Amino acid sequence: HGITAYLGYDRNALDRALAECRELPNHGPVNGCYGGVFMEYNTQWMLADDAHMREISSPEDAYEPCRSVPKEYEQECVFWQPWWWNQVLFGTKSSEKVSKQMGVYCKEISRGSADLTRACFEGIGGLIRLNAEFDARRPAQLCDATSERALDRLFCRASASNWLTAGIAGPKGNGEIICEGLWGDALTYCTAYAR
C-alpha cells in the first residue's frame, strides 16, 4: 500500500511500484508486496478522505490492470481484483446474485488459465468472508453461487474458511463450518485450508 501511495496511482507508477516490490521478500497473494500494490492501486485507501476508487469506464476496464501486467504479477493482481469489483460495481453488497456475477468476471479475467481461475475464486473467498458480516455459515452459500463448477466453488470456500480461522480482517472463528456439506477430497482440501 505504502509504495503505491508514495509513487502514485497512474499506470506508470503501478509498474514502478511492482518493480520496487520485486526487491522485497514475501510475494504471496495475500500478504505480499504485490498484493498490497494492486489493492492500493484499485482502491486508494491510504489517501483516506481524498481517496477515490478507480473507475470502470468501459467493460474491458474491469479486467485491468491484470490483463496488461507482466505474467509474473498476474496471480496477485487477479486475486485482489474481486475486492475492487465488489466495491466499484456492487457497492460492497452481498448476495447470491452478486456472487454469481463475480464468478462470471473471474472466468473472463482468467481466460482459461487454471492458476488465474484459482487465484480469482480464492480472492472472492476472502472477500465473501467479510461480506457475510462474519456469519460463519453464509460464506458457503455465497461461494456456492459463484459458479456451476464445483472446483471454483471449492477454491472460494477453502479461501473463506482460511480467512475465518486465521482471523484475517476480522474476528477468528471456526473455518471448518464453511466446509460443511462437502465430501471426499473436497472436504479434505477445504478442511486443510480451515486448519
Residue pLDDT, tens place only, 75-89: 999 999 999 999 888
Q: Which three cell numbers stand for residue 81?
A: 481484483
In terms of average pLDDT, the best of 41-45, 49-53, 148-152 is: 148-152
Q: Check whether 168 has a pLDDT greater than 90.
A: no
- Return the pLDDT at 56: 86
Average pLDDT, the chain: 91
- Return the pLDDT at 143: 97
Q: Check whether 62 has a pLDDT greater than 80.
A: yes
Q: Please identify which residue in the block is written with the cell numbers 495475500.
A: 30
- Return the pLDDT at 30: 65
Q: Say which range, 46-50, 73-77, 148-152, has the weakest mean pLDDT.
A: 46-50
Percent of the chain, pLDDT > 90? 67
For residue range 123-136, what is the model confidence (pLDDT) as tens digits?
999 988 777 766 77
Per the omega criterion (within 30 degrees of 0), is the bond before 65 cis?
A: yes
Going from the C-alpha of 111 to that of each of 20, 118, 147, the distances in angstroms are 28, 12, 15
- Return the pLDDT at 26: 67
Q: Check whether 159 has a pLDDT greater than 80.
A: yes
> Mean pLDDT, to the nearest integer, of 164-177?
85
Query: Comparing C-alpha atoms, which of 3, 8, 5, 35 is closest to residue 20?
Result: 3
Q: Say which range, 45-59, 81-95, 119-133, has the weakest mean pLDDT.
A: 45-59
Q: Check whether 29 has a pLDDT greater than 70.
A: no
Q: Check whether 92 has a pLDDT greater than 80.
A: no
H or E element, residue 146:
none
Q: What's the pLDDT band for 167 if we cut at 50, 70, 90?
A: confident
Q: Which three cell numbers stand for residue 189?
A: 482440501
